[in-house]
């Protein structure tokens, strides 16, 4: 995917060139599973694939939306955005941005033509939703000649996801998409939020194994985990689970109901693992990073219970594969994908062996994606 391809498709649909083109990358949740909305710390990687958004202003009112994922053009009246259903539900991401902009003192554009194109594999836990939100925000802001801070842009994206789309996510996805840098990971302290980057040692590679499985109740399960974490924090007398240290949890965690104790144990332990990984990266110790990734997945499986048999099997197989430092589910869980951190020597043939073992077990072949870090969102 590149800008000329997007411009050509825009011309074919709307009969003119776009005024602006923006791009935002997908992201890998490196470590920090469900810690963001608990006020914790996370590490993520922007990748070299993403979502492109092209826009051109209209003077006659309508907002027209198109995507390379579906046929046709959807025309909506300008004004207060209304949530869409069915085949048009993909537009809730850009519509959510339009609805969110005034909450930050920013203007939403009136009429426009809009095209979104993606080279992100859908359903792989790479956060195509955040990528379309952040790229849409940049495009709409350019269209209205506004230039807020990068932090404000990612907050607009999160606001859209929380309040319009209706997913109670934290800032991880939009933050990594907005602040990503090639050859670096994005570190976020979500209580601020505060953003920083951490150097990724040379020779580190990401392999994504997408199972295409998804729990039928994934939205409800995500919301229930969010609710359980909030209940655990309240029972422990803190505003957020990030306020609970491992030492304090060891003393007081057993007083919680069993389910809430498991959820809190995962979050408190995961925040500690983020710190361990950040320190290990500073020493170029990828072996230690891999051990933390494996421990993260084990906690997701047993404490947070957001893994699946398919994801667990992939992590188990990867644990015995050559040149693999570690592996864990990436994203919200309940299906989706596993990320493996590998040395450069891990090859396509090694990845195929993992996929073949999976196929023998589940009678399905996972998609394989070998990706690298990439730069964050920008006008292009």
Q: Which domains does the chain have, with CATH numbers?
A: 3-200 (3.30.230.10), 205-371 (3.30.70.890)
Gyration radius from the chain CA atoms? 21
pLDDT at 154 over 90: yes
CA distances 130 to 125, 245, 250, 267, 344, Å, are 11, 30, 35, 22, 29
pLDDT for 32-71, tens place per residue?
999 999 999 999 999 989 999 999 999 888 999 999 989 9
* pLDDT score, position 336: 87
pLDDT at 217 over 60: no
Catalytic residue chosen out of the listed positions 8, 173, 196, 375: 173
Q: How far is 51 from 120, CA to CA, in rounded Å?
A: 7
Q: How many residues does the chain have?
A: 380
In contact, 195 and 186? CB cutoff 8 Å = yes
pLDDT at 173 over 80: yes
Q: How far is 46 from 37, CA to CA, in rounded Å?
A: 19
CA distances 291 to 105, 277, 278, 294, 341, Å, are 45, 9, 13, 5, 11
* pLDDT score, position 124: 59
Give catalytic status of residue 350 as yes or no. no
CB neighbour list of residue 135: distance below 8 Å, 6 or more residues apart: 22, 23, 24, 50, 51, 52, 53, 116, 377
CA distances 268 to 36, 230, 244, 339, 358, Å, are 12, 13, 7, 22, 32
* pLDDT score, position 123: 59
pLDDT at 214 over 70: yes
Percent of the chain with pLDDT over 70: 97
* pLDDT score, position 332: 84
Sign of the Cα torsion 105, 171, 92, 139 reads positive
Here the tokens at position 24 are 């935002």
pLDDT for 354-369, tens place per residue?
999 999 999 999 999 9
pTM for this prediction: 0.89
pLDDT for 224-261, tens place per residue?
999 999 999 999 999 999 999 999 999 999 999 999 99
Lowest-confidence range among 165-174, 176-185, 316-325?
Answer: 165-174
CB neighbour list of residue 8: distance below 8 Å, 6 or more residues apart: none
């Amino acid at each position: 995917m590149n800008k000329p391809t997007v411009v050509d498709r825009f011309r074919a649909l709307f009969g003119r060139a776009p005024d602006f083109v923006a791009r935002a990358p997908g992201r890998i949740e490196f470590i920090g599973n469900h810690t963001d909305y608990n006020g914790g710390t996370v590490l993520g990687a922007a990748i070299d694939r993403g979502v492109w958004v092209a826009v051109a202003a209209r003077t006659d009112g309508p907002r027209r939306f198109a995507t390379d994922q579906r046929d046709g053009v959807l025309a909506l009246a300008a004004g207060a955005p209304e949530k869409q259903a069915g085949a048009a539900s993909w537009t809730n991401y850009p519509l959510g941005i339009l609805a969110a902009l005034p909450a930050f003192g920013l203007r939403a554009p009136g009429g426009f033509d809009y095209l979104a194109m993606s080279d992100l594999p859908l359903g792989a836990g790479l956060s195509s939703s955040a990528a379309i939100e952040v790229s849409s925000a940049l495009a709409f802001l350019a269209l209205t000649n506004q230039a807020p801070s990068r932090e404000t842009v990612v907050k607009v994206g999160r606001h859209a996801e929380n309040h319009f789309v209706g997913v109670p996510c934290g800032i991880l996805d939009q933050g990594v998409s907005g602040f990503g840098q090639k050859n670096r990971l994005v570190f976020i302290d979500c209580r601020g939020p505060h953003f920083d980057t951490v150097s990724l040692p040379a020779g580190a590679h990401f392999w994504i194994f997408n199972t295409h499985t998804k729990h039928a109740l994934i939205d409800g399960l995500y919301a229930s985990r969010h609710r359980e974490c909030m209940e655990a924090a309240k029972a422990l007398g803190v505003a957020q689970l990030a306020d609970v240290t491992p030492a304090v949890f060891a003393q007081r965690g057993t007083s919680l109901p069993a389910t809430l104790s498991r959820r809190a144990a995962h979050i408190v332990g995961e925040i500690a693992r983020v710190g361990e990984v950040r320190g290990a990266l500073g020493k170029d110790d990828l072996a230690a990073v891999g051990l933390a990734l494996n421990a993260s997945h084990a906690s997701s499986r047993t404490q947070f219970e957001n893994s699946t048999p398919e994801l667990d099997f992939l992590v188990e197989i990867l644990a015995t594969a050559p040149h693999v430092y570690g592996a864990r589910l990436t994203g919200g869980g309940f299906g989706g994908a596993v990320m493996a951190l590998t040395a450069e020597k891990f090859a396509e043939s090694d990845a195929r062996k993992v996929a073949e073992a999976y196929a023998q077990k589940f009678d399905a072949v996972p998609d394989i994606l070998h990706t690298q870090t990439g730069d964050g969102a920008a006008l292009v």
